Structure 1
Amino acid sequence: MTWGRDTDPDDAAAQLKLFLETGGTLIDTADVYGDGDAESVIGSLLDHLVPRDQVVIATKAGLTPRGWRARDGSRGNLLRSLDASLRRLGTDYVDLWQVHGYDGQTPFEETLAALDHAVTSGRVRYVGVSNFAAWQTARAATWQSAYPGRAPIVAAQMEYSLLERGIERELLPAAAALGFGVLAWSPLGRGVLTGKYRNGRPLDSRAASEHMAPFVQTYLEPRSSSIVEAVVIAAGGLGVSPLEVALAWIRDRPGVASAILGARTAGQLQGALRSEQLVLPAEIAIALDDVSAIDVGYPEREGTGYPEA
């Protein structure tokens, strides 16, 4: 998300090289990240770091922050955005193309027909959605599976972490029932789960950045602080970093296909990748579940298998 804006091409190259060397394959971005600069940086690096067919490139379209409305899921805008993404990425196809947000002003069938066209034209291999409500995601997945030849929804990219577990109410059960995977964005609670904000706001942090501070502020409140403290205690007992604990927790959640990381430096990324070696003891996983639990009532409790209160 920050490549080309907060992360310069040299730092991005160091990150990508490290990621590939450790077996990473999925690179997720969007057409609006850095006003397209993130995709351009990725495209410039792919030329000489890795063969195209050895990475999975995912991007998104549909947000229009500089337009007259915030979201535009029309066929014209989506396909126009896809062509621009392909030019910046320097490729003739993307592996996963996601609608970045639900647009209630465009007929749903039109948005989904654009996904079908992108696949049949060869510009996209698979399609998904991002930041859709559970009913919107389920409607899209059901519509796409109802008629042969439509491109199935294979993924939903949603915010999910110890600080934000809302998708457990309905979206995760829908994913299990309908057969699509979940990509968890901001698995570190917008950086708060690293513990870096326990004693203030470091000058080099996102919370101290003018354009990112509102993004982080959401989780700088008492409930989040108590969850962060539990993560820090667990990390101390295990001899690892809070970041590793938070990522290991999200990695092992049912239905999660991958966690989308947004490291600023190669050093940060290296710390995050160490989480792959960590297996949380059952008692710690249960304790973290308890301290971060969300309220689940009617009708979700009845339809998702949650035990009675």
Structure 2
Amino acid sequence: MKYRRLGGSGLKVSEIGLGSWLTYGDATEKDTARECIRYAYENGINFFDTANAYNRGEAEKVMGEALKEFRRSSYVLATKVYFPMDAGPNDRGLSRKHIMEQCDASLKRLGTDYIDLYQCHRYDAETPVEETLRALDDLVASGKVLYAGISEWTGAQITDAVGIGKRLGLRPLVSNQPIYNMIERYIEKEVLPVSEREGLGQVVFSPLAQGVLTGKYKPGQAAPSGSRAANDRTNFVINSYMREDVLACVQKLEQLAGEIGGTLSQFALAWVLRQPGVSSAIIGSSRPSQIKENLGAIDLVLTDEVLARADEILSEIEGFAPLR
């Protein structure tokens, strides 16, 4: 395993992180989830990501229980706050009340005294940014949180938040968690440059485009039984990728990956990690064998020629063309 600094902080996270969205506490049984987390940890993954909203806290419980067997200081535990956790008007968002209450609730579900990285799951237009940042800073001062980050904020929102934090003398945000993969590249235009300038590292989710960049889905064929695309409860997350032109390009990318001695998933992860502003790529896993394959991305070398060929293939996808 290789490790990178999380933005401008001194915290080091594994290049591959393990997440729990749509898996732990829901689709994946607890015993299987524990096996995946144990395998990840034993193979050098030290960054584990979850959120209070993932299956209404159940994912946090599973993650916390599985990590109890390891020394607390040996891993980096991340969770998030923003999405509704109940029906009340204050049971959502980034108000001081919701942040403070949900941090305590997350600590209880995770079974730990502190959260390494506490992230604002989305931007809250109804709460002053100053209120949100002060609440996060107070949590860090209290020791309940070590570092604070955000998720899916725009370049302008990041710039605004960093400016407010500096003016108030608050501890800086250290990370942003956006979607980023070979198909969805919006962060390259503004978010990456702004984040690198302001010291925020990217811990990207969906680097395999919800499984599309594994090559399991073929153009003109039904989704494999048991796959996310075939599951009525989860297929909504990959609908935008399940197009014939996208799947046709994925087949070409898989062939290119084979030419350089890797699988498509390894190629896709190595492609994401080529960005110096990316600190970690968060994968999901329902079995240890998936993690084993994904870890092969760490040593996969992508030359300029290979990257250019990948861009040429991706340019065929309408609406997802690489940024020039």
TM score, norm. by length of structure 2: 0.86
The residue type paired with residue 156 of structure 1 is: N
1:146 to 159, 167, 174: 167
**1:173 equivalenced with 2:177 (yes/no):** no
**1:96 match: secondary structure:** strand
**2:271 match: secondary structure:** helix
1:73-88 paired onto structure 2 within 5 Å? 73-88=94-109
* Larger RCO, structures 1/2 (Cα 8 Å, 6+ apart): 2
How many pairs are equivalent? 296
8 Å CA contact 2:311, 2:322 repeated in 1: no
8 Å CA contact 1:98, 1:130 repeated in 2: yes
Work out the percentage of aligned pairs sharing the same amino acid.
37
Give the structure 1 partner of residue 33 of structure 2: 12
**1:246 equivalenced with 2:260 (yes/no):** no
Give the structure 2 partner of residue 64 of structure 1: 84
Give the structure 2 partner of residue 41 of structure 1: 62
Q: For structure 2, list consecutive stretches of 5 or more residues without a partner in the other structure.
A: 1-20
Deviation sequence 1:80-122 (CA, Å, 0-9, x none)? 1110100011111111000001111112211111111111111
**1:146 match: secondary structure:** helix
C-alpha change, 1:282 and 1:141, in structure 2 (3 Å) is same
**1:109 equivalenced with 2:133 (yes/no):** no
Give the structure 2 partner of residue 281 of structure 1: 303
Give the structure 1 partner of residue 234 of structure 2: 212
**1:290 equivalenced with 2:312 (yes/no):** yes
Once the two structures are TM-superposed, the CA of residue 71 in structure 1 deviates from its matched residue by 5.0
| Cα distance in 2 between the residues matched to 1:295 and 1:68 | 42
1:214-229 paired onto structure 2 within 5 Å? 214-229=236-251
**Most deviating of 78-87 and 139-148:** 139-148
1:266 to 288, 292, 298: 288
**2:184 match: secondary structure:** coil
**Most deviating of 229-238 and 252-261:** 229-238
C-alpha change, 1:145 and 1:224, in structure 2 (3 Å) is farther
| Cα distance in 1 between the residues matched to 2:165 and 2:37 | 34
8 Å CA contact 1:71, 1:102 repeated in 2: no
| Cα distance in 1 between the residues matched to 2:202 and 2:192 | 8
8 Å CA contact 2:213, 2:268 repeated in 1: yes
| Cα distance in 1 between the residues matched to 2:223 and 2:247 | 14
Task: Provide the aligned C-alpha RMSD in A.
Answer: 1.9
8 Å CA contact 1:62, 1:99 repeated in 2: yes
Deviation sequence 1:14-62 (CA, Å, 0-9, x none)? 11121112111000100011211111011111222x1000000010001
**Most deviating of 104-113 and 138-147:** 138-147
**Most deviating of 97-106 and 275-284:** 275-284
| Cα distance in 2 between the residues matched to 1:295 and 1:274 | 27
**1:29 equivalenced with 2:50 (yes/no):** yes
Deviation sequence 1:238-260 (CA, Å, 0-9, x none)? 23211111011101113111001
C-alpha change, 1:226 and 1:51, in structure 2 (3 Å) is same
**1:186 equivalenced with 2:171 (yes/no):** no
C-alpha change, 1:26 and 1:221, in structure 2 (3 Å) is same
| Cα distance in 2 between the residues matched to 1:236 and 1:176 | 32
C-alpha change, 1:230 and 1:62, in structure 2 (3 Å) is same
Once the two structures are TM-superposed, the CA of residue 237 in structure 1 deviates from its matched residue by 1.3
Query: Which of structure 1's runs of 4+ aligned residues deviate more than 6 A?
Result: none
Deviation sequence 1:169-225 (CA, Å, 0-9, x none)? 110110121111111100001111111111321111111112211101111124422
**1:218 match: secondary structure:** helix
| Cα distance in 1 between the residues matched to 2:54 and 2:184 | 22
**1:118 equivalenced with 2:118 (yes/no):** no
8 Å CA contact 2:92, 2:98 repeated in 1: no
8 Å CA contact 1:5, 1:37 repeated in 2: yes
Once the two structures are TM-superposed, the CA of residue 230 in structure 1 deviates from its matched residue by 2.8
C-alpha change, 1:255 and 1:206, in structure 2 (3 Å) is same
**1:268 match: secondary structure:** helix
8 Å CA contact 1:71, 1:103 repeated in 2: no
Give the structure 2 partner of residue 93 of structure 1: 114
The residue type paired with residue 268 of structure 2 is: A
